Amino acid sequence: MPSQQLGIDDSTIFDNLDDRQVEFDGEVDGEEYQFAVQYSVIEALTGDAPDGDAESGFRQHIDTIREAALSALSNGPDRAVIVISESDLD
- Domain spanning 6-88: CATH superfamily: Shew3726-like (3.30.160.140)
Asked if 21 contacts 87 with a C-beta cutoff of 8 angstroms, the reply is no
Is the pLDDT at 3 greater than 80? The verdict is: no
Chain-centroid distance of CA 43 in Å reads 13
Indicate the pTM of the whole model: 0.92
* pLDDT single digits (tens) 22-77: 999 999 999 999 999 999 999 999 999 998 899 999 999 999 999 999 999 999 88
Q: Report residue 2's pLDDT band, with 50, 70 and 90 as the boundaries.
A: low
pLDDT at 1: 41
